[in-house]
Amino acid sequence: AEYDGPWIMTFDNFLDDYEVEQLIKGATINGDDFQRSIDHVRDVGAKSGGNTAKETVTHRTSSSAWCKQECESLPGVQRITKRIEELTGMPQRNYEALQVLQYQEGQFYKRH
């Protein structure tokens, strides 16, 4: 069976220890704690073009935080961003902020 979805690529050792440290530090730099992971669900039937609602999901039990503003200015995070831009050919302004997920023992992610 041929897969018809988007390409999935993995890169071993894409981040070094310093970059990981900076990304984790940056995700909570503004005093924001990790929050239970949610999905954004779009109501495609709405006349206004669709509304977005937040929904707690059962296929993932992680907590998440976003790397925005001050986080994006950390040297290690800037190195990550530069590497992503070089690899994809896409500037940072064209993709979402980096999302950092935290899993505790017993938490999981299920394919969906």
pLDDT at 71 over 90: yes
112 compared with 88, residue with greater pLDDT: 88
Task: Go through the chain and tell me how many residues it has.
Answer: 112
Q: Which pLDDT band, with edges at 50, 70 and 90, does 20 fall under?
A: very high
Helices and strands, number each (H, E), in the chain: 3, 5
Q: Which pLDDT band, with edges at 50, 70 and 90, does 28 fall under?
A: confident
| Cα 53 to Cα 64: distance, rounded to the nearest angstrom | 17
Q: Which pLDDT band, with edges at 50, 70 and 90, does 4 fall under?
A: confident
Listed residue (63, 62, 68, 67) closest to 20, CA to CA: 67
